[in-house]
Amino acid sequence: MLVRDLMLVDTPKWNDDLIRNIFTHEEARLILSIPLRNYWCEDRWTWHFTANGQYSVKSGYKVGWTLETHLTNRPSTSGDSSPIWKWVWQLPIPPKVQVFIWKMLHNALPVRAALSKRKAVPNPYCLRCGEEIETVEHALRDCPWSSFFWRASPLRLDPALIISSASMADLTHELTKNKNEDRDALFAMLLWTIWYARNMRTFQDKEISHNECFALALKCLHEYQAVRDDDKGAREKVRVHQWQRPKEGTVKINTDASIIKGEGSSIGVAIRTHNGEVLKVLSKRYDQEFAVDIMEAIACREGLKIATELHLECVEVETDCLIIAHAYHQRQTNLTYLGRVIDDIRELSAHFTCCTLRYIPRIANRMAHHLAKFAFSLSGCNLYYGAFPSELNHLIPVDERLC
Ligand SMILES: [Zn+2]
């Protein structure tokens, strides 16, 4: 909706009835108190926090920090002191995303179902699929675009959990009950990017792809957390945007998995030196469709097996599956199927002088990702092991595949 939609058609005056219908009494009073020009002009963005209405980076930072300090110091701004409210405010995400999550949990997002009740839009249907009423759940979870978003997202959510959750509040509660700060923050940022993409499409007719959303979520998270970390000297957070060479003498093992419904599952492993030289890659397909996190763990395990065969001494394993990194570092025994593979990984890791395993965003794990996908294109066999396959050259930037 543009400002001009709130004006009368034939004369530049506020549409009093419409404004009072859409907005609360106080909001309507404030809008109607804004003086209008005497002639039509294009809508444009104005920045509230500088005298000239022009945005400046300095004023942006100032507002950001003031807002955060304000929110951090007064966690019960709205009078809500529920656990979910506290959870939202302590997540390491930008304040605008906290506000968004809070609105989502309170069913207060301006989705078309709500807007149509207030007669602000002609119908309640989702503009993306055109088939369902756009509720909060539809916009963020059920619309085919959003449902695919979650299937492809770096969080690797369990599709059954997504479908079975009654509402976004339920889903959020279920996913965040273990209080894993990095994972929860990423989940919140991803939710926000769905809403951002929805708004860009609705208001600016701009299509933002899933991958762009993932990259945006990680970038925002990284930038915000870098500022916080600098300020607080906090522990290391997700901050990698591209593949990084390991330090001299260490070999990096990137791993990933892929599942195609009806076709099976696969893993990809890329082993590279500190020069970026590819020592070996593995691309392997399985007929069974295991759970994603199990496949991700199997990929790590296979990577370490190859590393032992190559008699490597210092290795760094990277996975874009947070669950694996988390499970590997947890002290308690994991009694699930996943736990067994994690135990194998721990056992294998003891073969090396030094061995670390960490999470990196998918964007920094491209080679392993494409190798996992590559397994489905192998004809006549289910395994590729050797040098980097030239078929993938066009997918990986040159500095990532020196070989
Ligand atoms: Zn839809």
pLDDT tens figures, 349-358: 988 988 999 9
The mean pLDDT value for 162-172 works out to 86
Residue 69 burial (C-beta neighbours within 10 Å; 0-12, 13-18, 19+): exposed
- Per-residue pLDDT of 142-160, as tens digits, reads 999 999 999 888 887 777 8
Please check the confidence at residue 58 and state whether its pLDDT lies above 70: no
CA of 138 to the centre of ligand 1 (A): 6
Q: At 235, is the pLDDT very low, low, confident or very high (cuts 50, 70, 90)? A: very low
d(Cα 295, Cα 220) in Å, to the nearest integer? 29
Residue 334 is predicted with a pLDDT of 66
Output the CA 186–ligand 1 centroid distance in Å. 23
Which of 82-96, 107-121, 196-210 shows the lowest mean pLDDT across its residues? 82-96
Rounded distance between C-alpha atoms, residue 317 and residue 358, angstroms? 6
Ligand 1 center to residue 114 CA distance, Å?
15
Supply the pLDDT for residue 327. Answer: 83
C-alpha dist (Å) from residue 174 to 69, 157, 162, 338, 375: 29, 11, 10, 19, 34
CA separation for the pair 124, 116 (Å, rounded): 5
Give residue 134's pLDDT: 97
Distance of CA 4 from the midpoint of ligand 1 (Å): 27
CA 190 – ligand 1 centroid, Å: 17
Residue 72 has pLDDT above 60, yes or no: no
Measure 263 CA to ligand 1 centroid, in angstroms.
28
Tell me the CA–centroid distance for residue 111 and ligand 1, in Å: 11
pLDDT for the residue 237 = 47
> pTM (2 decimals)?
0.45
| For the chain, domain boundaries | 75-239, 251-400
Output the CA 99–ligand 1 centroid distance in Å: 23
The better pLDDT of the pair 332, 109 is held by 109
Q: What's the gap in Å between 334 CA and the centre of ligand 1?
A: 38
What is the reported pLDDT for 135?
96
What does the pLDDT look like over 9-48, one tens digit per residue? Answer: 777 788 888 888 888 887 888 788 776 766 666 677 767 6
Kindly tell me if the per-residue pLDDT of 7 is higher than 90: no
Q: Ligand 1 centre from 128 Cα, in Å?
A: 5
The predicted model gives 271-281 an average pLDDT of 92
- pLDDT (0 to 100) of residue 180: 81
103 CA to centre of ligand 1 in angstroms: 20
Q: How far is the CA of 353 from the centre of ligand 1 (A)?
A: 52
pLDDT band at 300 (very low <50, low <70, confident <90, very high): very high
Cα–ligand 1 centroid distance for 1 (angstroms): 19
- Average pLDDT value for the chain: 83
Q: Within 13 Å, how many C-alpha atoms sit on residue 228's CB side?
A: 22
* Ligand 1 geometric centre to CA of 96 (Å): 24
- Of residues 271 and 46, the one with the higher pLDDT is 271
Q: How remote is the CA of residue 161 from the centroid of ligand 1, in Å?
A: 20
Q: How far is the CA of 315 from the centre of ligand 1 (A)?
A: 45
- E strand or H helix that includes residue 28: helix 25-32
| 88 neighbors 78 (Cβ within 8 angstroms) | no
Between the CA of 204 and the centroid of ligand 1 the distance, in Å, is 18
Residue 337 pLDDT > 80: no
Question: If one looks up domain 251-400 in CATH, what number appears?
Answer: 3.30.420.10
Task: Give pLDDT tens digits for 353-393.
Answer: 889 999 988 888 999 999 999 999 987 788 999 999 988 88
Residue 198 CA to ligand 1 centre (angstroms):
10
Under 8 Å between Cβ of 221 and 93: yes
Instruction: Please tell me the distance between residue 299's alpha carbon and the centre of ligand 1 in angstroms.
Output: 35
